[in-house]
Amino acid sequence: MKHTVHVRQHSFAIDEPAANGGEDEGFTPHDVYDSALGACKAMTVLWYAQRKQIPVEDIQVNVERDDVRVHGVRGVREVGARGVSGSHEVVLVSC
């Protein structure tokens, strides 16, 4: 199941855990999607703050989806059912 993704001069592995038929040699496609979503949120907040000259010390984004195990503040917990798609984000900004 492993694939290598190439973007400009960068590359990274995409795979699934052994339980899903992969070899766990890279991020899952959902991991990449969630990471991109979180990074986009953080960069948008930073861009807006810079444009409005608001000093920002830290931006933290937590993305949770309802179809996998989620590593949260209180540890690992099961959320929702496999195959149900959806995610939400929490953005924390320190000024």
Indicate yes or no: pTM above 0.85: no
Specify the DSSP element, H or E, that contains 87.
strand 87-94
- Amino acid letter for position 33: Y
Per-residue tokens: 3: 């694939």
pLDDT digits (tens, 9 = 90+) for 19-51: 989 999 999 998 898 889 889 999 999 999 999
Question: Would you identify the CATH topology of the domain 3-94?
Answer: GMP Synthetase; Chain A, domain 3 (3.30.300)
- Give the residue extent of every domain in the chain: 3-94
Question: Residue 73: pLDDT band by 50, 70, 90 thresholds?
Answer: very low
3-state secondary structure of 39: helix
Average pLDDT over residues 78-95: 51
Q: How many CB atoms lie within 10 A of CB 40?
A: 12
pLDDT band at 15 (very low <50, low <70, confident <90, very high): very high
